[in-house]
Amino acid sequence: MNNAGKTTIIKIMEDYWNLIIPAMTALGIGLLVGLEREYGQRKVNGRSKHEEAAGIRTFAMVALLGNLMTWLPDPLHLWMPALGIGFVALMAIFSYQRTNDSDKGFTSEAALVATCILGTLTGYGMGLPASMIAIAMVTLLHFKKWLHHFSHSLSKVDIRQTLLFLVLTVIILPILPNRTFGPYDSLNPYHIWLMVVLISGLGFAAYAAMKILGNRSGLMLTGLLGGLVSSTAVTLAMSRISQKNPELQSSSTLATLLACTTMFPRVLILTLLLSPELAWTLSPAIAVIVICAATTSTYLWYQSSQHKKHTPYLYSPKKNPLSLRIALVFALFYALVVLFSHIALDHFGEQGLLTVAGLSGLSDVDAITLSLAEMTQQHTSIHIAAQGIMLACAANSMVKLGIGLSFSPKATHQWLIIGLLPMALLSLGSLYFI
Domain ranges of the chain: 3-142, 151-432
As a whole number of angstroms, the distance between CA 131 and CA 122 comes to 9
Instruction: Decide which of 124 and 11 is more confident.
Output: 124
Give tens-digit pLDDT for 381-428.
Answer: 899 999 999 999 999 999 999 988 988 888 888 889 999 999 999 999
CB contact at 8 A, 84 and 69: yes
Mean pLDDT of the chain: 80
- Examine the pLDDT at 281 and tell me if it is beyond 80: yes
| Mean pLDDT, residues 48-70 taken together | 76
Give tens-digit pLDDT for 282-298.
Answer: 999 999 999 999 998 88
- Examine the pLDDT at 302 and tell me if it is beyond 50: yes
Taking the model in full, what pTM does it have? 0.66
CB contact at 8 A, 388 and 349: no
| Mean pLDDT, residues 274-288 taken together | 93
pLDDT at site 267 = 93
Span between the terminal Cα atoms of the chain, in Å: 68
Give tens-digit pLDDT for 167-213.
Answer: 877 888 888 887 877 776 777 888 888 878 877 776 777 677 666 66
For 91, counting Cβ atoms within 10 Å of its Cβ (0-12 exposed, 13-18 middle, 19+ buried), the class is middle
Going by C-alpha positions, the residue among 362, 392, 401 that lies closest to residue 260 is 401
pLDDT at site 308 = 47
As a whole number of angstroms, the distance between CA 300 and CA 420 comes to 13
Residues in contact with 6: Cβ distance below 8 Å, sequence separation at least 6, in sequence order: none
Q: How many CB atoms lie within 10 A of CB 167?
A: 11
As a whole number of angstroms, the distance between CA 187 and CA 209 comes to 34
pLDDT at site 146 = 75
Most trustworthy range by pLDDT among 161-175, 333-347, 360-374: 360-374
- Examine the pLDDT at 5 and tell me if it is beyond 90: no
- Examine the pLDDT at 306 and tell me if it is beyond 50: no
Most trustworthy range by pLDDT among 8-12, 213-217, 355-359: 355-359
pLDDT at site 53 = 56
- Examine the pLDDT at 321 and tell me if it is beyond 80: no
CB contact at 8 A, 142 and 40: yes
**Phi and psi at residue 187, to the nearest 5°:** -105, 120
Question: Could you tell me the CA-to-CA distances from 329 to 18, 323, 364, 399 in Å, in that order?
Answer: 55, 10, 12, 20
pLDDT at site 52 = 46
As a whole number of angstroms, the distance between CA 395 and CA 188 comes to 27
